C-alpha cells in the first residue's frame, strides 16, 4: 500500500467522524458523539470510550501523515480544531487499552498515575480469574504494572468457568473452556478464543511496547516494559517502524536488545539499562556508545543492530 493510500485511510476515518450526523457541538463547545455503542454492553450512549478513543487517536495521525507527505495542507487547521475540541476520555482504566493513548510512554503526567491508581485498587492473586472479554491484563501491561500482569495474564487464560462446569468446561451445560483451550461460552456452535487473544495482546505489551508519548508522535521501543522480573524470557516480536525486535531477560536482567530493520529509518529506544552506557553494534561491528534515558539511531534496510551494556560482547549473547 502506498503512503498516499495510507493517509487517505487516516483522513477517511477522521472525515467520517467529523461529518457523522451524530457528532454535534454541545453547549460546552466540544464535539460530542451521540447514539453510539461501546462493545456489546453499552447501547445508544454518548461519548463512549471506543468512539472517543478512535477520534483522539486517528485525528493526530491524519495531521502527521499530511505533514510528512506534504498533502492536504488546507485540512490541517480543520482537523486540529476538531481534535482540540473533542471530549475527554471517560474515566477509568479501560482507555489505556485503546490505541496506546495512555501507556508507560505517555507524556500526560496526570493520566498515567490516575489510571495506575484505578487499576491497583483491584487485588490480584494466583486465584484471580478474568472474564473472556476483559481488557484488564492489557491495561496493566500498558501501564507498566508487572505485578498485575503476573496474575492477570494466567487468570485470563484460565478464565472464569461457566456455572455448572469445572475448570475445563466439563459439566451439564457443555460450556466453558475445553482442554484445547478453546471456549464454548456461547454453546458448541460458537467455539471461540477471545480470552487468548486478549491475553496475547497483554503479553506483547508486557514484553515489547512501541507506543508514542502522544498520538501522532514518534514511537519509542521499550523492552520488558511490564514483564515480571521473576520470569526468564526471550522474544522476537514485530514493532512499529518495520523493526523486528529480539531481547532476553535472565534472572531479572535484560541481556541485550537486537533490532532488525526491515525498511530503514530512525529507531528510538528507551534505555533498558537506566543510568548505564550501552554499546551499539551494527552488522557485527561496534559503532558507538550511547547513554541517556532515550537514544535514537539511524538504520538502513537490512541492518542488524545489537545493543548491550558497555563491555559485553554480542558474541556472548547467542543472538538468533
239-245: which pairs have CB atoms within 8 A and are 24 or more residues apart? 239/208, 239/210, 240/210, 241/210, 241/265, 241/267, 243/210, 243/267, 243/299, 245/208, 245/221
> Sorting pLDDT into bands at 50, 70 and 90, what band is 173?
very low
Cα Rg, the chain, nearest whole Å? 22
Task: Give mean pLDDT, residues 262-288.
Answer: 96
179/167 Cα distance (integer angstroms): 9
pLDDT at position 175 is 52
pLDDT at position 255 is 95
Of 226, 304, 214, 205, the residue nearest 261 (C-alpha): 304
Of 157, 147, 86, 154, the residue nearest 116 (C-alpha): 147
**pLDDT over threshold 50, residue 92:** yes
pLDDT tens digit sequence for 39-82: 888 899 999 988 999 999 999 999 999 999 999 999 999 999 99
- Identify which has the larger pLDDT, 35 or 112: 35
> Sorting pLDDT into bands at 50, 70 and 90, what band is 203?
very high
| The CATH number fitting domain 232-316, selected from 1.10.3720.10, 2.40.50.140, 3.30.420.10, 2.60.40.1180 | 2.60.40.1180
pLDDT at position 12 is 92
The structural domains of the chain, with segments of one domain joined by +, span 3-90, 111-206, 232-316
Amino acid at each position: 500500500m502506498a503512503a498516499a493510500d495510507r493517509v487517505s485511510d487516516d483522513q477517511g476515518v477522521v472525515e467520517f467522524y467529523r461529518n457523522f450526523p451524530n457528532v454535534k457541538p454541545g453547549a460546552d463547545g466540544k464535539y460530542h458523539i451521540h447514539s453510539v455503542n461501546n462493545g456489546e454492553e453499552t447501547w445508544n450512549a454518548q461519548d463512549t470510550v471506543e468512539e472517543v478513543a478512535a477520534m483522539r487517536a486517528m485525528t493526530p495521525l491524519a495531521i502527521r501523515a499530511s505533514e510528512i507527505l506534504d498533502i492536504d495542507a488546507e485540512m490541517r487547521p480543520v482537523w486540529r480544531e476538531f481534535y482540540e475540541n473533542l471530549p475527554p476520555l471517560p474515566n477509568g482504566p479501560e482507555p489505556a487499552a485503546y490505541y496506546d493513548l495512555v501507556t508507560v510512554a505517555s507524556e500526560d503526567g496526570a493520566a498515567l498515575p490516575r489510571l495506575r491508581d484505578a487499576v491497583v485498587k483491584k487485588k490480584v492473586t494466583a486465584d484471580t480469574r478474568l472474564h473472556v472479554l476483559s481488557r484488564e491484563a492489557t491495561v496493566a501491561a500498558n501501564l507498566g504494572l508487572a505485578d498485575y500482569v503476573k496474575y492477570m495474564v494466567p487468570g485470563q487464560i484460565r478464565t472464569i468457568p461457566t456455572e455448572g462446569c469445572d475448570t475445563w468446561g466439563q459439566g451439564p451445560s457443555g460450556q466453558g473452556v475445553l482442554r484445547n483451550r478453546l471456549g464454548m461460552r456461547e454453546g458448541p456452535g460458537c467455539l471461540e478464543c477471545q480470552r487468548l487473544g486478549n491475553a496475547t495482546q497483554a503479553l506483547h505489551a508486557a514484553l515489547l511496547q512501541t507506543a508514542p508519548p502522544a498520538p501522532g508522535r514518534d514511537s519509542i521501543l521499550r523492552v520488558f516494559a511490564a514483564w515480571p522480573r521473576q520470569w526468564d524470557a526471550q522474544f522476537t516480536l514485530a514493532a512499529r517502524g518495520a523493526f523486528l525486535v529480539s531481547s532476553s531477560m535472565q534472572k531479572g536482567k535484560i541481556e541485550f536488545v537486537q533490532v532488525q530493520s526491515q525498511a530503514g529509518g530512525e529507531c528510538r529506544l528507551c534505555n533498558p539499562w537506566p543510568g548505564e552506557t550501552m554499546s551499539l553494534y551494527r552488522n557485527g561491528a561496534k559503532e558507538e556508545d550511547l547513554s541517556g534515558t532515550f537514544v535514537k539511531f539511524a538504520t538502513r534496510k537490512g541492518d542488524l543492530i545489537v545493543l548491550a551494556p558497555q563491555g559485553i560482547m554480542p558474541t556472548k549473547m547467542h543472538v538468533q
